[in-house]
Structure 1
């Protein structure tokens, strides 16, 4: 049996690392191919530093790193083809530069491996954001250039202080990348508006669109106009309903299901096709594998893949025909979130929240709003994530909860009432929208003439994959302290590195909702 080593996600086997197959479903061959691709990208960065980078090298590095994020690509053949393309470009630029051995990524002193892995996984997350912005035509030269610094740094000797400095520098660059993506999304589709979204499904043909890529959703909405096919979002695509240029399509009907880790149950025998535009793909069950489609860097062996043509367009005809063939449900179907609610509200990005800043500031000053919690991040299957549901349920009525990313599906169908005319639970969007939360915190700190750490604001985060890593590094680079992190701490963080983060940033592992709320509120 071939072996692998992967500890980049939260659900890793035994909390230490997957050795024979990924808990995510990837094979040892796929995992090893992803490590080899990473090393090919390191060599390509070195070659480009010597001979000059280009749009092609930028694209190979960004898409190649994104392809190695958890639950993105399970297709070993495609990963190897991409690796070969990266090596060919490396050879064209500087043939003499070697491709490092894959084992070098995770060999050596465990604290150095920990720091190296943290930087690698952070760059994988930033690559995802850079990819999304690039699809919409926006690029940042400083962001792209940093990959050519960060990748070679992985296999260069550094002191612990130098590693920490690199991680903080990366966090600042990732902030620019998140700002770039925010500009790309809002500039293309408008500023998100608070919007109610149904969980119910109308009878007739429909398509479910999962992932994060708003451009793919827009294209499929355009191509299904007047076709009698409704469109439903899934998982992290839920916030798309809040964008004016997307919500104007009357056949964008609602949201199907809950968070990504429930898809094998929720998609069982679904009478409709599903398009996966980015990560969050799980190995499809037989009952619906024939109706799953992937696109972009996503892939799974034997699953239909929608490609981009020479003009940069995607043809979704096969998905549309599959929807018409399957026919959808014969009658309207009532569905709900985890807690039984059938309506979700999204669209509380920084535009919506800051437009109500005067109300929020006044409520804080008068004591009507005692505390704000940001409870957000990735969801996952590991036991213990119900902590976030219970935490939100137990927050006092004079507190508000901002949320983002798919972790919100643990509680976003709860009706916890209002405070100051705003719902107590406000969905700020995808994990991609963490920039909105940062901007809100900075704006409130400015209004109160204090630092972010002095605000009545606490971050309670759940992590799963590599985009959570890059967001956390950005928050730490901004000096934000006392972040509660769970449900388990990253396996790639060694004890010494954890102690360093606790000492410098007061990172706090979650305990129980009751104990943590008491510690926060006193």
Structure 2
């Protein structure tokens, strides 16, 4: 196997025996083969659009299949085999439709024509031949940009899939996903063409996040400032981790009146701010962080656990006995809820002891999405003009288990009292419970939401730039980001598409970015690695 799509990749170069995330070689091979098959499907999808053939099932299945290859989403070979069978069947069906419509179908590429083996061993052998391992016969910088686009596409597809579940779609997103996948089959695209596709990936991701924002806020309302208990109360309990708001909403409805409290974990913390979710009295509080103590947290939780989507470490056998998965998540031996009928999860929660007593812990505030922040924009603007607020920091991104992420905790702790910290995504769990106080009645630490709520952060920045009549890069705003997986890659590409400069990125830079590509990023966007909190704060604030 060879995989270097996440920040924790072995030695900063690539996982070659087993993934640091826990991905096994057979799963890596199946994901590589699935990506290969999707490239073949994309060739026909691109030609299909030229002759008026647009297949909705192909669109949705492409995003689902791409999403399943993200880090920490699906480790189940059986699930991946089913994805492969579906994608190859759709490829062949679409080929026939495009041919009937007069479109081009005589592709010689293996991805467009290979016959899928029928056994796990056969599919794994096929996948081992088509992975992403660097090819010395291909220009290293072009390959670097191809893989940047590929990994960015996986993030785009994750957001597009979440949006589609909530009824929000845009064919331009699907069209670009197919266009970019098909481009990876071409041999005549030069470096400039790949730079263009890389920035276009960021542009399309902005649209995908826009769709997801519309789905989330249109269905559950705009988040409002909400205090969330970090303790627990006596009674039966279910813990929900991941990202999927619809799964949480369905679970809240199905558990109403059953004497079970619902707790969030990781990226589900911001959901407490949504009016249509917070209205349930048994939606109680937040338990645990995201990465640092996950095995301990899950092992000690006295109720059932529902894992939705990704950004969760692969659970070890020692603490999987009460875990269920839903959506695209798949792990061998872990029960999967495919239809949002959470009866097995509810039954397990009723069988387990639950919390035996109340525990009053801290409270944290969530719900500082763009509507909330812009509703007090006049106070923010006055505070800046009156020098009460000197600077804004967006300290955001992914969490992870790799050493070096304490930088973000220390950075936030050392941010001066006249500065505000905006945060989003699971990286905030390094400091989310810090009491930074207020400035002029405004919290100094504002939780904008999940990783996809980078869209809200962008809208806040754009609105402030208009209010001050300056460009975004001229605002007293600095981005200090942490990355782990492919949604973070997509968000970074969105920021580059928007021309945002001076981003600090860590804990380490992507292994798939060559020195020459990095040089382009530095020259055009002044993107830079984090150093130390003291040095970075001094460089930013003087």
Cα deviations by residue, 1:63-97 (Å, 9 ceiling, x for unpaired): 00100000000001211210111011111222765
Corresponding residue pairs, total: 508
Residue in structure 2 matched with residue 280 of structure 1 by the alignment:
311
The 10-residue stretch of structure 1 (274-283 or 385-394) with the greater mean CA deviation from structure 2: 274-283
Instruction: Tell me if the contact between 2:239 and 2:304 (Cα under 8 Å) persists in the aligned partners.
Output: yes
1:503 CA displacement: 0.7
Give the whole-Å Cα distance in 1 for the aligned partners of 2:145 and 2:364.
Answer: 39
Q: Show the counterpart of 1:161.
A: 192
* Aligned pairs for 1:109-148 within 5 A: 109-148=139-178
Separation in structure 1 between the aligned mates of residue 256 and residue 505 of structure 2, nearest angstrom: 43
Paired with 1:296 and 1:43, the residues of 2 have a C-alpha distance of 25
Tell whether the 8 Å contact from 2:2 to 2:131 is kept in structure 1 after alignment: no
Mean CA deviation greater in 267-276 or 117-126: 267-276
Q: 2:357 aligns with which of 331, 339, 342?
A: 331
The question of 1:369 aligning with 2:399 is answered no
1:218 matched residue in structure 2: 249
Q: What is the Cα deviation at residue 118 of structure 1? A: 0.4
What is aligned with 2:212? Answer: 181
TM-score, normalised to structure 1's length?
Answer: 0.95
Q: Please say if residues 73 and 297 of structure 1, whose CA atoms lie closer than 8 Å, have aligned partners that are also in contact.
A: yes
* Alignment match, 1:311: none
Q: Equivalent residue for 2:446?
A: 426
SS at match of 1:428: strand
Please name the residue that 2:36 is paired with: 39
Range with greater deviation from structure 2 (106-115 or 405-414): 106-115
- 1:56: Cα distance to partner? 0.7
The residue number in structure 2 matching 1:203 is: 234
**Where does 1:183-332 land on structure 2 (aligned, <5 Å)?**
183-308=214-339, 314-332=340-358
1:495 maps onto 2:526 in alignment: no
Deviations 1:338-389 (A, max 9, x none): xxxx221110000011111111111111111100000000011111101001
CA RMSD of aligned residues (A): 1.3
> Which residue number in structure 2 is paired with residue 339 of structure 1?
none
In structure 2, what is the equivalent of residue 53 of structure 1?
A: 54
In structure 1, distance between residues paired with 2:134 and 2:73: 21
1:407-446 CA distance string (max 9 Å, x none)? 1111110101101211100000000100000000000110
Partner SS for 1:21: coil
Distance 1:441 1:410 in 2: 23
CA distance in 1, matches of 2:42, 2:225: 42
Residues of 1 paired with 2:528 and 2:378: CA distance?
31
The 1-side partners of 2:234 and 2:134 are apart by: 51
Gaps of 5+ in 1: 309-313, 336-341
SS in 2 for 1:445: helix
Residue equivalent to 2:374:
354
**1:62, distance to aligned residue in structure 2 (A):** 0.4
Structure 2 residue matching 1:268: 3-state secondary structure: helix
Distance in 2, Cα, partners of 1:334 & 1:35: 47
Cα gap change, 1:172 to 1:268, in 2 (>3 Å): same
Matching residue within 19, 39, 64 for 2:16: 19
